[in-house]
Amino acid sequence: MTDTGSVPPPESEAPSVSARRRGRSVGRFLLDILVIFVVALLVSFLIKTFLIRSFYIPSGSMETTLQINDRIIVNELAPTAVPLHRGDVVVFTDPGGWLHGDPSLQKRTSTPLDDFLTFIGLSAADSDNHLVKRVIGLPGDHVVCCTALGQIAVNGVPIKEPYITIPPGEVDAATVRFNVTVPAGELWVMGDNRYNSRDSSLNQDLPGKGFVPESAVVGRAVVISWPLGRWTVLGDYPEVFADVPDAKQK
């Protein structure tokens, strides 16, 4: 009887076929890894651009709420999609001249790797170009400092601020006095470390009069993410502003 079964390839051909198959498998695996890496970069970039972003704290102007080298997560949906409230901690770009000559700012040197990780939202090499303060006055608010007890008053109501740091012997909630009405589309912001913060109160002599355009706000800080021992949610202290009426419409 004649054997009609398939004839195995010569022994010399078998290793060659097996090697080619292994080569194709390795190539496909590497391609999958490359695709996953590119997609991850794209997702990180989109998240950083539209949703959340990381910043590190380069100065002591928000102590003790935020300390130097803390990292915070910022919700970039505010204020475009999510409205800001009094008491929110916000990150914003320099409105003009605020960063010049700030002695509390601790500059750090960024590396190409830092710049790349910042681009995709995994680092914060550009934190030196931003500021972080607390919103005290919203558009239309009348903000005054100081009352007879050294407090800030918003729309005629003195506020008691548990988050601020004031040196021993001082009583006023700001180093300079002011009496302002916040223009439409702008904010009045102050650091929690009131005697070591170049905030709205100390920038009144600039062209912007100390106000921060809402368009300059990158987002609202929501969490201290690093170091792990300081992980906490950043609140806006609604009880502080609970009795403050809405600004009068003009």
Q: Which two tokens stand for residue 174?
A: 């700001």
> Which range marks the domain in which residue 22 is found?
15-50
At residue 44, the pLDDT reads 55
**pLDDT averaged over the chain?**
82
Reply yes or no on whether the pLDDT at 182 is more than 60: yes
Reply yes or no on whether the pLDDT at 136 is more than 90: yes
- Asked whether residue 30 falls in the same domain as residue 84, the answer is no
| Of 246 and 31, the one with more pLDDT | 246
At residue 120, the pLDDT reads 47
- Asked whether residue 168 falls in the same domain as residue 63, the answer is yes
Cβ contact 198:207 at 8 Å: no
Residues catalogued as catalytic:
61, 133
| Of 65 and 7, the one with more pLDDT | 65
Reply yes or no on whether the pLDDT at 201 is more than 80: yes
> Could you tell me which residues come within 8 angstroms of residue 63 by beta carbon, excluding any fewer than 6 positions away?
165, 192, 193, 196
- Asked whether residue 32 falls in the same domain as residue 98, the answer is no
Query: What percent of the chain lies above the pLDDT cut of 90?
Result: 58
Rounded Cα distance between 249 and 207, Å, is 25
- Asked whether residue 59 falls in the same domain as residue 93, the answer is yes
Q: Which two tokens stand for residue 221?
A: 């800080």
Reply yes or no on whether the pLDDT at 46 is more than 80: no
pLDDT tens across 62-103, in order? 999 999 989 999 999 888 888 999 999 999 999 999 987 544
- Asked whether residue 33 falls in the same domain as residue 145, the answer is no
| pTM for this predicted structure | 0.74
Number of domains in the chain: 2
Strand pairing class (71-75; 212-213): unpaired
What are residue 211's phi and psi, to 5 degrees? -85, 150
Band (128; pLDDT cuts 50, 70, 90): low
